[in-house]
Structure 1
């Protein structure tokens, strides 16, 4: 579902803006690091954060990702979280740290923090550029 001409956005250090639905029905938007495994858009956060709670209650998401080299080129995705797992989440956040900040280990981990990996299945995609 992700168009070939926009898959390169996942290779760049482009932040995605992830929208989830809060308990009161209001949107909550967070910039996140992302990658793409060929089927799912993946991101990672700590268990218990607002987006984690929102997604466990309601798996619907929207996100946008903008080309850092051309702000008029972007992709908007609407879909749902198909999987939430702790398995592989530590390795995934370290891979994202290598991509985004050139560090082998994610340096912002808090004591006792449990990382969670989310896999988004795109259902509707809009692109520009």
Structure 2
């Protein structure tokens, strides 16, 4: 079950810091758009990106999602990428995210292929 604050934050244009692990075990973080489904956190990226290569090798990830209006309200999620989905679903998903975050369709060039990372939370901690 997803933390209710995470569910609330997923309805607005709130950002997540998404952390993966590099081959030497050190963290690599990116500020990202994020989404949820009933039980998972969703991150949309491209297959040529470092974060994608990192989760292919080591599926352990962490996110911190904060409230744009009050950054002292946030949820930390630790978990694992349990699935990846490409193709039309990932492409449609980035357009939906772009509507939420920018008010329009996704305009950035797609360099490789969009992919959706499906994250199963193992630990959630909230503040606020």
Could you tell me the TM-score, scaled by structure 2's length?
A: 0.94
Per-residue CA deviation, residues 61-113 of structure 1 (Å, 9 max, x unaligned), is 00000111111110000000011121411001111110101112x111235x2
Which runs of 5 or more residues in structure 1 are unaligned? none
CA distance in 1, matches of 2:36, 2:27: 24
Which runs of 5 or more residues in structure 2 are unaligned? none
The answer to whether residue 112 in structure 2 is matched with residue 103 in structure 1 is no
Whether the 8 Å CA contact 2:79–2:122 is kept in 1: the answer is: yes
* Equivalent residue number for residue 92 of structure 2: 91
- Pairwise CA distance, 1:42: 0.5
CA RMSD of the aligned region, Å? Answer: 1.1
**Alpha carbons of structure 1 residues 78 and 103: separation in structure 2 relative to 1, 3 Å:** same
**Alpha carbons of structure 1 residues 48 and 6: separation in structure 2 relative to 1, 3 Å:** closer
CA distance in 1, matches of 2:15, 2:51: 16
Counterparts of 1:62-101 in structure 2, within 5 Å, are 62-87=62-87, 88-101=89-102
The answer to whether residue 117 in structure 2 is matched with residue 118 in structure 1 is yes
> Helix, strand or coil: the match of 1:89?
helix
- Matched residue pairs, number? 127
Could you tell me the TM-score, scaled by structure 1's length?
A: 0.93
Runs of at least 4 residues of structure 1 off by over 3 A? none
- Pairwise CA distance, 1:2: 1.6
> Helix, strand or coil: the match of 1:64?
strand
